[in-house]
Chain A
Amino acid sequence: DQQVKQNSPSLSVQEGRISILNCDYTNSMFDYFLWYKKYPAEGPTFLISISSIKDKNEDGRFTVFLNKSAKHLSLHIVPSQPGDSAVYFCAASSLQGAQKLVFGQGTRLTINP
């Protein structure tokens, strides 16, 4: 039972353009969502998060949008840079779930020069 899904295993974007990574969830009890970036053989690095009481959160080039009715969130990166090439994981948690994170499968983003 995959509660958090990232349906695109990979995404290729030209440098300078917008990258949009998508994530869907099924558990309506999730109330906090996070995006992590991961390079090979390294631990994930936290990027940005959003609480279910908001529908948008922005931090520099990164913006996360949350659509609760559709149980969908997305991460926008603009403009995309070569250093953004990595695997991106979305994750969700709920206070009822003891703040355990449930991760999606990840999307490999490649930024082409």
Chain B
Amino acid sequence: DGGITQSPKYLFRKEGQNVTLSCEQNLNHDAMYWYRQDPGQGLRLIYYSQIVNDFQKGDIAEGYSVSREKKESFPLTVTSAQKNPTAFYLCASSITGVHNEQFFGPGTRLTVL
């Protein structure tokens, strides 16, 4: 079964700690994305990558970092510099070159205590 997996589903961290959210896809998609959803708001783009070893900042990249060492994997690190890290984080992937839908993972709910 092809798809996108995110782990864990729920994550709790103490304030001041960095935390890394996992995102893996086996759809053979070149592009991968990280979004954040807050209550009553749409999805906001944090970072995206259109090819391995390359990534760009989205609209709200401050306090986050990513890597893209493998086509299948696009982990997101929420650093202690992120002022409001508690949110629902969604990873997505898509093919590139033509317009196409993005496929989303199930999401990770991060709560910083």
The interface residues of chain B, by DSSP majority, are classed as: strand
Minimum CB–CB distance from B61 to chain A (whole Å) comes to 13
> Complex formed: what's the CA distance from A89 to B11 in Å?
25
Asked if B83 is at the interface of the complex by the 8 Å CB criterion, the answer is no
With a 10 A CB-CB cut-off, give which of A4, A45, A99, A105 has the most chain B CB atoms: A99
Measured CB to CB, the residues of B under 8 A from A are: 4, 6, 31, 33, 35, 40-45, 48, 50, 56, 58, 88, 90, 92, 94, 96, 99-107, 109
A-B contact pairs, 25 of them (CB 8 A): A31-B99, A34-B101, A41-B107, A43-B90, A43-B92, A43-B104, A43-B105, A44-B90, A46-B102, A46-B103, A49-B99, A89-B42, A95-B99, A98-B56, A99-B31, A99-B99, A100-B45, A100-B58, A101-B102, A102-B45, A103-B35, A103-B44, A104-B42, A105-B41, A106-B42
